[in-house]
Structure 1
Amino acid sequence: MKSRFSNDINIRNRQAGFEYELLDKYIAGMVLTGTEIKSIREGKVNLQDGFCYFNNDELFVKGINITPYAQGTHYNHVATRERKLLLKRAEIKKLETKTEEKGFTLIPTRLFINDRGLAKLEIALARGKKLHDKRDSIRERDAKRELNRLKLK
């Protein structure tokens, strides 16, 4: 019998690599409520609209949609609430100074469950791509696809 809960969760924000130039990556813990981890283990998470911000020297993520747990009662969580991220103080200070520079932001790129069973969020320091940068990405991707096609023949 296959369980509906899984420990090998690896949810990616595939749009992030296209919209942003990813510079640095960090792994952060998340403060979750009771039913949120159950929904994450079912894989019902959407990272597309997520972003990180600072408030009183603490890092929060907003816009991540964790679908409410189906068997949850009135104790079920709010799907799009803001969640606190756990990083070392030095990393938070470093990221805060970087994001104050023009054009930099923090975005969630991947949500996974580590070997100890804890939900972790990979965040990236990113700079938004311009339209011509996106065109270059498309051109590179098409060239790689064409080379792979020629190798297979």
Structure 2
Amino acid sequence: MTIENRKANYDYFIEDKIECGISLKGNEVKSIHNGMCNIKDSWCQIQNGNLVVRGMHITPWHTSNSYDIDVDREVQLLAHKKEIIKLENKLKTDGYTLIPLKIYFNDKGKCKMLIGICKGKHTYDKRNALKEKQIKRDIERSFK
């Protein structure tokens, strides 16, 4: 099961992508495996040398204890120190943010998150992207 942030491609220019592991607790893995997770309004931050995701909502597993886990807690990402330093240097320039793009399970069954170093789009950029998408769609229809 993959959980994608489609809004990120619409709102941001994605310049670089990095794969990180996720530090999950208890039944969060089962919830993510069943697609009960939302990363649409989430973002990443660097706190005390650690990479953290904020705004990610993981719905509790139906048989889990109600006192177990906070639904909107900060989730720590697992990345190498060199990668975190590189991200921190990139974020110091204006307009760059870290946005979660995708959550998926790799071949070994480990939960991974794909993070993008993104720069925000203006409204005219968004209109141009929609126009190009519509033109491609029309061309594909004409060939069928």
Same fold (TM over 0.5): yes
In the alignment, the residues of structure 1 paired with residue 66 and residue 31 of structure 2 have an alpha-carbon distance, to the nearest angstrom, of 15
1:75-105: CA deviation from partner (whole Å, max 9, x where unpaired): 5321111011111111100000101110000
Which residue is equivalent to 1:122? Answer: 114
Across the aligned residues of Structure 1 and Structure 2, the Cα RMSD in angstroms comes to 0.8
Where 2:128 maps in the other structure, the secondary structure is helix
Which residue is equivalent to 2:38? Answer: 46
Q: So what's the TM-score if we normalise by structure 1?
A: 0.92
75-84 vs 94-103, greater mean Cα deviation: 75-84
In the alignment, the residues of structure 2 paired with residue 23 and residue 143 of structure 1 have an alpha-carbon distance, to the nearest angstrom, of 24
Quote the offset at 1:18 in angstroms.
0.1
Q: 2:27 aligns with which of 35, 40, 43?
A: 35
Runs of 5+ unmatched residues, structure 1 = 1-8
In the alignment, the residues of structure 1 paired with residue 65 and residue 123 of structure 2 have an alpha-carbon distance, to the nearest angstrom, of 46
1:29-69: CA deviation from partner (whole Å, max 9, x where unpaired): 01110110010111101110110001111110001111011
Runs of 4+ residues deviating >4 angstroms: none
Runs of 5+ unmatched residues, structure 2 = none
Q: Which amino acid aligns with 2:138?
A: E
| Number of equivalences | 144
- Contact 1:69/1:76 (8 A) holds in 2: no
Which residue is equivalent to 1:57? Answer: 49
Where 1:141 maps in the other structure, the secondary structure is helix
In the alignment, the residues of structure 2 paired with residue 150 and residue 111 of structure 1 have an alpha-carbon distance, to the nearest angstrom, of 35
Alignment of 1:63-78 (within 5 A): 63-78=55-70
